[in-house]
Amino acid sequence: MRLLLFLLICQCAINSINAYSASSPSVILLMADDLGIGDLGCYGNRTLRTRNIDRLAEEGVTLTQHIAASPLCTPSRAAFLTGRYPIRSGMAAFSRVGVFLFSASSGGLPSEEITFSKLLKERGYATALIGKWHLGMNCERSNDFCHHPLSHGFDYFYGLTVTNLRDCKPGQGSVFLKGVQKSSVIPLQITGITLVSLALVHYIGLLRVPFRALGYCFLIATISLVVLIFFFYHFRHLNCFLMRDHQIIQQPLSYENLTQRLTKEAVQFVERNTDAQFLLVLSYLHVHTALYASKNFRGKSKHGLYGDAVEEMDWSVGQILDVLDKYNLSDKTLIYFTSDQGAHVEEISSSGEVHGGYNGIYKGGKSTNWEGGIRVPGLLRWPGVIQAGAYLDEPTSNMDIFPTIVKLAEAQLPSDRIIDGHDLMPLLQGKVAQSNHEFLFHYCNAYLNAVRWHPGNSESVWKVFFFTPNFSPEDSNGCYDSHVCFCHGRFITWHDPPLLFDLSRDPEEKVPLTPKTERRFYEILRIIHLAIENHTRSLHAVPNQLSWDNLLWKPWLQLCCSSLFQSCYCDHDSERNLLEVNLG
């Protein structure tokens, strides 16, 4: 009897240990920027060296149908943090521009949205975001920080509030210049011709135009032109800066050893929290252009500067794994690696070097809902809890991270809103065989572009396109003439009936099915249209955070660590690093 009682006590203790080990882990979320699924060894690349990222695959689960909720940075990251389609939070644009471009814009992730960082912070987790944010900063004043990471559940922030752009790095060209030239030439010509014509008809006496009115028109045109020239001449100083919490510490941003600095901050955060649960989001600037790599990696890969950047990011992942091993935290930490969307295939430098990544067999890239734009790496590792070396060929989403880690932290999922993501743990632990995502809705900005359907009784994954981007040149794999693909007007082609693919048989989306080649063609479309009706009914009107008013630069929201007369210059980060070296 005593032996039986002893065995029961032992079994309860073991169950208690197992239950604890499978809940409340520390969490590290690693997000690359514009990384192609074909850039990693664990997804088939044989020329880039990504041994540390590949180690996550060897020691964890590889998701082969992991889908970004949007093919653009800002909406994809909003969905990742909230577990909700970006259309629900107003983080999907109705205009051509679908991301934030300026630090002094007023749009951003609304304070009403609940992020996983907020919920984990409430559970006592230490929380940090290192790297790229790209979800806004201020609303009405330059110091209200309503959209800042610290207002969305992060205790600590070190990074960029906007994004890495070619304009941020001298000599790398501009993402704005061509667009500004195209959009400003005609208005400037019209304004000039109008002013000259009015002056001329006044001079010859055909029409009496008050000189004051002409003067005001000329003054307004001149001021507008001066502001435009000033802004783009100083773009790097005004928009490309590094922050620690609410303070600018480097303006403009220096790329010197930038990945090392981001990695150092991440490692130090882990070291400060070895005895506590923590959430670390390490959001890399790699491999968004402007590309960069430190001296130790420059010129070392087989794929130019892009490959150097990928391999430097892989080194950084290795540093994170090493610090977990050093403090015996590996078994207590869930790690996730992904990219915010697919590779930007149109990225080519002024010298002709390819600066975009490789999406493997998949069509298209960033800014499109072809598989190359939304099928991204998805790697999860948690030794002893998640099976090592496993592959999951089920549709999953970056929105799934929200409910997964919230439940693991034993926090409550919000009950006052729809959460579109699903808990991944049953899939990862082999308790279920099929994803809960029967349907996934693919938006191009705020426009429903495509729908994916994975029936429960079938291996097929149907995908319907209502419109597709017009590639330029036509026989290419992207929109090279406009640098990215757009979502409306002359940039797209509508399809009636919609294009239908079965991704289980045609993952490259090469041959659309027809009523002749797929006998269930109209039945599949009918079911998908019913799903769209249900989905549409669940949407509610919210303020558009990416309206032109919220996107445009507002001088009164501009942050400057010195003064405009000093070109907004400071470099406290380098000063601090130099001090640490001297003291060390």
R_g of the chain computed on alpha carbons: 26
Cα gap 259→545, rounded to integer Å: 30
Residues with Cβ within 8 Å of residue 577, at least 6 apart in sequence: 261
Mean pLDDT of 36-49: 97
Contact 324, 270 (CB under 8 A): yes
Contact 117, 146 (CB under 8 A): no
DSSP annotation of 479: B
Identify which of 298, 303, 287, 300 has the alpha carbon closest to the alpha carbon of residue 257.
Answer: 298
- Per the prediction, the chain carries an average pLDDT of 91
CA distances from 575 to 12, 571, 580, 582 (A): 55, 7, 9, 11
pLDDT band at 434 (very low <50, low <70, confident <90, very high): very high
Residues with Cβ within 8 Å of residue 411, at least 6 apart in sequence: 119, 120, 122, 123
Contact 583, 575 (CB under 8 A): no
Q: Any idea what the Cα angle at residue 371 is, between residues 366 and 374, rounded to 5°? A: 50
Catalytic residue among 66, 134, 355, 454: 134
Active site residue 134: yes
Encoded amino acid at 418, one letter:
I
pLDDT of residue 235: 86
Spell out a b/e string for 463-493, using b for 16 or more CB atoms within 10 Å of the CB, else e.
Answer: bbbbbbbbbeeeeebbbbebebbbbeeebbe
pTM assigned to the model: 0.91
Cα gap 331→324, rounded to integer Å: 9
* Residue pLDDT, tens place only, 462-482: 999 999 999 999 999 999 999
Identify which of 584, 464, 435, 476 has the alpha carbon closest to the alpha carbon of residue 527.
Answer: 464
**Per-residue pLDDT at 429 exceeds 50:** yes
Catalytic residue among 73, 240, 479, 568: 73
**In the chain, % of residues over pLDDT 70:** 87
**Per-residue pLDDT at 13 exceeds 50:** no
Which DSSP string do the residues of 292-332 spell out, in sequence order? ---TTTTT-SSSHHHHHHHHHHHHHHHHHHHHHHHTT-GGG
* Residue pLDDT, tens place only, 155-214: 999 999 999 999 999 988 887 766 555 555 566 666 667 767 767 766 676 666 676 666
Contact 527, 453 (CB under 8 A): yes
Give residue for tokens 């940090």.
128
Please confirm whether the linkage preceding 446 is cis (ω < 30° from 0): no
